[in-house]
């Protein structure tokens, strides 16, 4: 591949990490002599965001229009109809994020661009590409080929590629200021709502006892609370527990919840989907208790116990209480 375009993802006047993750992978794929193109859609007042991107793309195409201040898929699509006429590239990358998932499948369908989603790796071979994506909640990987086409589109999983050490090049900025036109009233952005502040801020805790689907019932949460209290820590959870309202949303660790970095993270009955791992993988020490020896959580935990949490936790709580007297 000679030319790869990356759609810059920005929100609340900040370029998001996924952008750099995609730029890094694009550099690797185009190799010497290729071109990495960053596509930036935004309000003219957001031009300052380009400073972070320009050093990492051979060319930045900045589509600036007051209609593009916030991410709105209908407006982005209208801009794309002009961009696609002007930009020559074989591959377009977007994030498999709240932003890309709300845009890429529609772009692929509208322009019939061969597409697949939630890619964790991209392999170039003989001028063609293979996408690696995960199925069955990350238990199986699939190598996927795409139909032939002038352009292809992939959405890339957040965290699949490093956001650091991206090659620095001298990028040129090409501004397009033509108006984005159309009737966009069918969907209108209103506002952002910040996450609710709970009684406990899990991001500040040194010790976290976190529960997943394996806790089985809201009535079992006190088992984890008792351990957390004995250790001087707090209780957090994975998505299924928050979905079922067994613990409040602000206790949820993961992509759509909080990112935590405690000294010790004890994962009880958490399988360890990548969205959960994204929120806790940088904890100092990770201890996992799970009945399933193949649970992905054991892939990133430092210590593991393959056993029933309902036996392990009371035994551990008792010992901890014992030494603390």
For the segment 267-306, give every residue that binds another protein (CB under 8 A).
Answer: 271, 284-288, 291-292, 294, 298-306
User: Which of 139, 172, 179, 218 touches another protein (CB under 8 A)?
Assistant: 139
Q: Does 318 bind another protein (CB under 8 A)?
A: yes
Q: Does 73 bind another protein (CB under 8 A)?
A: yes
Q: Select the span of 80-88, 94-102, 167-175, 215-223 touching another protein (CB under 8 A).
A: 94-102
Burial class (CB in 10 A: 0-12, 13-18, 19+), 78: buried
Q: Please tell me whether residue 11 adopts helix, strand or coil conformation.
A: strand
Nearer Cβ to another protein (117/220): 117
Distance in Å, CB of 306 to another protein, minimum: 6
- Here's the x/- map for another protein, 2-21, by CB under 8 A: it reads as ---------x----x-----
CA-wise closest residue to 40 among 12, 3, 69: 69
Q: Does 101 bind another protein (CB under 8 A)?
A: yes
Distance in Å, CB of 58 to another protein, minimum: 28
Write out the two tokens for 270: 């958490």
Rg (CA), the chain: 23
Cα–Cα distances in angstroms (integers) from residue 27 to residues 36, 130, 233, 244, in the given order: 6, 17, 43, 42
Question: How many Å apart are CA 92 and CA 36, to the nearest integer?
Answer: 10
Write out the two tokens for 148: 């032939």
Q: Does 163 bind another protein (CB under 8 A)?
A: no
Distance in Å, CB of 26 to another protein, minimum: 20
Q: Does 191 bind another protein (CB under 8 A)?
A: yes
Residues binding another protein: number (CB under 8 A): 105
Q: Does 256 bind another protein (CB under 8 A)?
A: yes
Q: Does 243 bind another protein (CB under 8 A)?
A: yes
Q: Does 311 bind another protein (CB under 8 A)?
A: yes
Q: Please tell me whether residue 235 adopts helix, strand or coil conformation.
A: strand
CA-wise closest residue to 298 among 271, 323, 268: 271
Q: In this structure, are residues 137 and 104 in contact, taking their beta carbons and an 8 Å threshold?
A: no
Distance in Å, CB of 35 to another protein, minimum: 24
């Amino acid at each position: 591949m000679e030319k790869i375009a990356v759609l810059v993802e920005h929100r609340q006047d900040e370029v998001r990490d996924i952008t750099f993750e995609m730029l890094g992978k694009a550099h690797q794929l185009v190799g010497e002599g290729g071109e990495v193109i960053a596509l930036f859609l935004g309000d003219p007042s957001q031009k300052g965001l380009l400073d972070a991107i320009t050093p990492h793309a051979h060319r930045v195409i900045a589509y600036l229009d007051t209609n593009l201040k916030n991410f709105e898929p209908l407006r982005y699509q209208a801009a794309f109809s002009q961009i696609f006429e002007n930009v020559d590239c074989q591959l377009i990358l977007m994030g498999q994020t709240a932003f890309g998932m709300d845009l890429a499948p529609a772009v692929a369908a509208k322009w019939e661009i061969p597409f697949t989603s939630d890619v964790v790796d991209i392999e170039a071979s003989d001028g063609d590409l293979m996408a690696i994506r995960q199925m069955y909640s990350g238990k199986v990987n699939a190598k996927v080929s795409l139909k032939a086409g002038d352009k292809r589109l992939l959405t890339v999983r957040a965290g699949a590629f490093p956001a650091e050490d991206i090659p620095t090049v001298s990028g040129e900025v090409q501004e397009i200021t033509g108006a984005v036109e159309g009737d966009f009233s069918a969907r209108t952005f209103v506002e952002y709502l910040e996450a609710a502040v709970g009684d406990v801020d899990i991001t500040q805790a040194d010790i976290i006892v976190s529960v997943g689907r394996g806790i089985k019932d809201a009535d079992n949460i006190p088992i984890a609370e008792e351990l957390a209290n004995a250790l001087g820590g707090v209780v957090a959870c994975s998505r299924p527990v928050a979905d079922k309202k067994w613990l409040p949303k602000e206790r949820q660790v993961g992509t759509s919840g909080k990112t935590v970095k405690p000294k010790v993270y004890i994962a009880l009955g958490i399988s360890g989907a990548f969205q959960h791992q994204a929120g806790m993988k940088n904890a100092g020490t990770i201890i996992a208790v799970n009945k399933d020896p193949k649970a992905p959580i054991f892939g990133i935990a430092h210590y593991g116990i393959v056993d029933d949490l309902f036996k392990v936790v009371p035994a551990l709580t008792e010992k901890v209480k014992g030494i603390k007297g």
